[in-house]
Structure formats: structure tokens, C-alpha cells
Amino acid sequence: MNNDKDCLLVAPSVVTPPQQQTSRTRWLPSLSRARFTSLVVIVSVFAICVLVYLVPEREVHHGTVAVVTSIAPLDTSTRKTSTKIRYKHTQRRLPQCIIIGIRKAGTRALLKFLDLHPSIQTAAREIHFFDHSYELGLNWYRKRMPFSFPDQITIEKTPAYFTVKSVPKLVHRMNSTVKVLLIVRDPFERTVSDWLQLCMNQRAKNRHCTSFERKVIDPRTGEVNRSYQGIRRSIYVRHMQNWLQWFPLSQIHLVNGKTLVENPVAALKRVEQFLGLDHRITEDHFYFNKSRGFYCIQYDSTRQKCLHPSKGRKHPKIKKEVVQKLREFFRPFNHKFYQMVGQDFGWP
């Protein structure tokens, strides 16, 4: 037909051949947009949960990166968690027991020896939470504890706690039922060790070290220098009185430092009993190191470990008149301490 009005132009239909259809277009038409969105959300959440459970978590522990993995717990007889590994069913807990002191009486040895027990986990370092960092909060304190199983006891040690007046109240506020360990030593010997440690630190920095005699004796009066911190720390009865205002004596176990050195198993057996634990630390865990003059840890037939050489330093010779004056000074305080705790330690 030649008439333009009668001419009808029809555009051809565009049909996608079956072979060109994508896999998505084959199954998507059967899903509504809402159902597809829901399915994507469910799959994403599931994938995230799998990743959280399987991928190691990284966290800061004592200034180092600790890899936390989910693996089966160790055998109950030897399960000791690592500061770098988290085992399944473990978490960080506030300490149920605290070694409060006293400084230079054997707190490090006590902590290391107790760590041999499979039901005890110990903080690797002194936290100084109650005397220096309390304002950071309990959550900060908890994060510095080791991972532990629910039936294990977490122990932290900071020897300064015993002599800081504000600490007992703060510990009681955290947990009024917490158990307290206090290791004590002949006050005279402890005072010498206290001075010696500070003196060695000063010498390492090329600084002058004042002699022990000039530290403990007031040159003007010739009497014991009561203002010297080493002397004040050794008057145990004053600090113990402060702790007994907040905790009953039944919650405080005193460890004889001399017994821990000479017969560690006997001392540790009493601690195990105090903590309500089975007796698991035995003679097989120790050997006597003749060169050091005290017991060291025997992990197995090939692994042995002694405390750092700075522990158990040989004391210098002290003038007899100074020794006598100090022992006379400490004597009445020692007797009051014996009466207060119901135990005579027999210090000279």
C-alpha cells in the first residue's frame, strides 16, 4: 500500500534466548525482594558467627599480643592456661586470693610455687591495683588476670598492699570473702634485704648508695630511725591491725618465710588446706640447689628453674651494735604481733 495512513510499522519483539539467561535470573523470579533480603541477612549473620568462633581473637595482655583460640581444655590433672592462649570455657576473673606481702619476705617464691598447683592460676606480674591504679576500675583489674577455668583459683600478688593503709578497705569493697596470704620473715633480715635491693638498684644507675647503718640509725640521736621506710615496713603489728579491721583472721593465712625456704612442701601444704585445695604440690616438684642455697622448681626430668639471681642475695656484714639495737627495737612489736595472730615465729 502506498498510502502513508495505511502503513503500520511494527517493532519486532526482543526475546532473550534461553542460553543467555544467567543463573541469577533462573531462580530470583521465584523470590520476592523481601525474601531475598532476609536470606542475605541470615547468611551474613551465620558467616559472622562462624568467623568469631573459629578465627583467633587478639587482645593485649601485659603489653604483649595474646592469641586466643577455642580448643579443647587440657587434662584436669595438668591444665594450666598460658598468658598467650585462651582455652575454651576459660575467662579472666577477679582474684579469689591475694598475696598482700610482705616485701622481701619471699612473695615471688610463694607465687611461683603455688603456680605448680593445677587448680591455681597466677597473675604474671604485680598489678598494684589497690595502691596505685584503683581509679582505673575493676574491669581494668580483671583484664590483667590470667584466663582460668571455673573451678580454678586466681591469685594476684603485690607486696605493697600489706603496708598501704587504704588497701584493706578497697579489697573488702571488691570482695569481702577474698582469701589473703601474708608471708612474714624475721623483721631484721627483711629490713636488710629491703635496703640491699634498693642499694643494688641505685648502683646499677651509677648512683651513691647510703650504708645500711646510716639508713637505720639516726646519726643525731644514735637511736633507730623510725622514719626510714625499711623500718616502718617491718613493724608488722601496725599493718596487721589495719587489715584485721576489715578481714577476720580466719581469712588471712600467714606463711612462715623461713619454713618456705627450708621446707617448701610443708609450707605449701598449709596454703593448699587454707584454699580448700587437694594436696598436689609434692617433693617431686623441687630440688635443692647447693650453689644458691635454697630449693628450686623441678618441672620434669629435663626442666628446672630457680628464682632470679636477685632473689636470695647474700647479706653484707652488719655491725654488731647495730644488729643488737635493731633486734631490741623490734622485739616488743614482734611479741604483740605473735599475740595478735596467735602464732610465735621465734624471731631472735
Say how many C-beta atoms besides its own lie within 10 A of residue 216's C-beta. 22
The verdict on whether residue 313 carries a ligand-binding annotation is: yes
Residue 333 · residue 237 · CB < 8 Å: yes
Average pLDDT over the chain reads 84
Instruction: State the pTM of this model.
Output: 0.76
Residue 180 · residue 157 · CB < 8 Å: no
Residue 106 · residue 90 · CB < 8 Å: no
Q: What percent of the chain has pLDDT over 70?
A: 78
CA distances from 141 to 13, 200, 303 (A): 74, 31, 32
121-155 pLDDT tens trace = 999 999 999 999 999 999 999 999 999 999 999 99
The least confident of 75-89, 144-158, 187-201, 216-230 is 75-89
Residue 91 · residue 139 · CB < 8 Å: no
The verdict on whether residue 287 carries a ligand-binding annotation is: no
CA-derived radius of gyration, the chain: 33
Cβ-count burial 165-202 (b if 16+ within 10 Å, e if not): eebbeebbeeeeeebbbbbbbbbbbbbbbbbbbebeee
Phi first, then psi, for residue 205 (nearest 5°) are -100, 15
Domains within the chain, CATH numbers bracketed? 4-54 (no CATH), 55-88 (no CATH), 92-341 (3.40.50.300)
CA distances from 115 to 7, 216, 284 (A): 101, 36, 15
Provide mean pLDDT across the span 5-21. 44
Given the residues 5, 88, 104, 179, the one annotated as active site: 104
Which cell goes with 51?
Answer: 568467623
The verdict on whether residue 230 carries a ligand-binding annotation is: no
Which cell goes with 296?
Answer: 628450686
Which cell goes with 56?
Answer: 583467633
Pairing mode, strands 147-148 and 294-298: unpaired
Say which amino acid occupies 19: Q
pLDDT at 315: 85
pLDDT at 116: 97
Name the packing angle between helices 320-341 and 187-204 (round to 10°).
Answer: 120
Contacts of 185 (CB under 8 A, 6+ apart): 102, 104, 105, 106, 257, 258
Paired with 253 in beta bridges are 181
Say which amino acid occupies 342: G
Cα distance between residue 271 and residue 99, in whole Å: 11
The verdict on whether residue 317 carries a ligand-binding annotation is: no
Residue 264 pLDDT > 90: yes
Residue 9 pLDDT > 60: no
Is residue 320 among the annotated active site residues? no
The verdict on whether residue 335 carries a ligand-binding annotation is: no
Cα distance between residue 257 and residue 287, in whole Å: 18
pLDDT band at 227 (very low <50, low <70, confident <90, very high): very high
Pairing mode, strands 153-157 and 120-122: parallel
Residue with cell 642499694: 199
Provide mean pLDDT across the span 266-282. 98
3-state SS of the chain is: CCCCCCCCCCCCCCCCCHHHCCHHHHHHHHCCHHHHHHHHHHHHHHHHHHHHHHCCEEEEECCEEEEECCCCCCCCCCCCCECCEECCCCEECCCCEEEEECCCCCHHHHHHHHCCCCCEEECCCCCCHHHHCHHHCHHHHHCCCCEECCCCEEEEECHHHHHCCCHHHHHHHHCCCCEEEEEECCHHHHHHHHHHHHHHHHHHCCCCCCCHHHHHECCCCCCECCCCHHHHHCCHHHHHHHHHCCCCHHHEEEEEHHHHHHCHHHHHHHHHHHHCCCCCCCHHHEEEECCCCEEEEECCCCCEECCCCCCCCCCCCCCHHHHHHHHHHHHHHHHHHHHHHCCCCCCC
Provide mean pLDDT across the span 287-295. 88
